[in-house]
Chain A
Amino acid sequence: MVSYYLSGNEAIVEGALRAGCRYYAGYPITPSTEIMERISIRFNEIGGVFMQMEDEIAAICSVVGASWAGAKAMTATSGPGFSLMQEGIGYAAMTETPIVIVDVQRAGPSTGQATRVASGDIMQAKWGSSGDYQVIAVCPWSVQEAYELTINAFNLAEKYRVPALLLTEEAIGHLRERIDVVKDVEIFNRRKKPGAAPFGTEERDGVPPMPSFGEGEKVLVTGSTHDSHGFRKTDDPLVQDRLVSRLNEKIVNNRERIIDYEDYYLEDATVVVISYGFTARSSLFAVRALRQDGRKIGMLRLKTLWPFPDSLTKNIGARAKVLFVPEMNRGQVAGEVRKYVSCQVVSFTQTNGEVIYPDTLIEGLRRHL
Chain B
Amino acid sequence: MARDMQRYLRPGLTSTPFCPGCGHGILMGLILRAIDQLEFNMDEMLFVSGIGCAAWIPSPHFNADTLHTLHGRAIPAATGAKMFNPKLRVMVVSGDGDLADIGGNHLIHAARRNTDLTVICATNMIYGMTGGQVSSTTSVGAFTQTTTQGNPYQPFDLCKLIIAAGAAYAARYSVTQPFALIASIKKALQTNGFCFVEVLSPCPTQFGRHNQLDTPGDMIKDLMDRCITRRKAKNLSPEELKGKIITGEFANGAD
Contacts and interface: CB of A to CB of B under 8 A. Distances in A.
Question: Are these two chains actual partners, yes or no?
Answer: yes
Interface of A: 22-23, 25, 49, 51, 53-55, 57-59, 61-71, 73, 87-88, 91, 212-214, 216-224, 230-232
Given A54-B109, A64-B80, A218-B43, 13 more contacts: A25-B76, A54-B105, A57-B76, A58-B75, A59-B76, A62-B76, A62-B77, A62-B80, A63-B80, A65-B78, A65-B80, A214-B46, A217-B65
Interface centre among B42, B46, B70, B79 (most CB of A within 10 A): B70
Given A87-B70, A230-B60, A231-B60, A214 B65 contact: yes
Given A220-B10, A222-B59, A61 B84 contact: no
Q: Which 3 A-B pairs have the closest CB atoms?
A: A65-B80, A62-B80, A65-B77
Contacts of B106: 54, 58
A55 B85 CA distance: 22
Nearest to A230: B60
Nearest to B73: A61
A221 B60 CA distance: 9
Contact of A218 (B63, B69, B82): B63
B70 A66 contact: no
Main SS of the interface on chain A? mixed
Contacts of A53: 76, 79, 109
B67 interface: yes
A88 B83 CA distance: 19
Given A57-B73, A213-B85, A218-B63, A23 B80 contact: yes
B84 A91 contact: no
Contacts, number: 127
A37 B83 CA distance: 19
B33 interface: no
B68 interface: yes
B83 A66 contact: yes
B33 to A, nearest CB: 20
A227 B75 CA distance: 25
A55 B65 contact: no
Nearest to A217: B65
A54 B104 CA distance: 11
A213 B81 contact: yes
19 contacts: A25-B80, A58-B109, A61-B77, A61-B80, A63-B80, A64-B77, A65-B48, A65-B78, A65-B82, A66-B80, A68-B67, A69-B81, A70-B84, A71-B84, A91-B70, A213-B88, A218-B10, A218-B66, A223-B69
A68 B84 CA distance: 10
A51 B112 CA distance: 13
A91 B88 contact: no
B59 A220 contact: yes
B214 interface: no
Interface centre among B44, B78, B83 (most CB of A within 10 A): B83
Nearest to A91: B70
A221 B66 contact: yes
Interface centre among B64, B65, B68, B105 (most CB of A within 10 A): B65
B231 interface: no
A84 to B, nearest CB: 12
Contact of B73 (A66, A88, A232): A88
Contacts of A73: 80, 84
Contact of B46 (A58, A64, A213, A232): A213
Interface centre among A25, A71, A220 (most CB of B within 10 A): A220
A51 B83 contact: yes
A207 B69 CA distance: 21
B87 interface: yes
Contacts of B48: 65
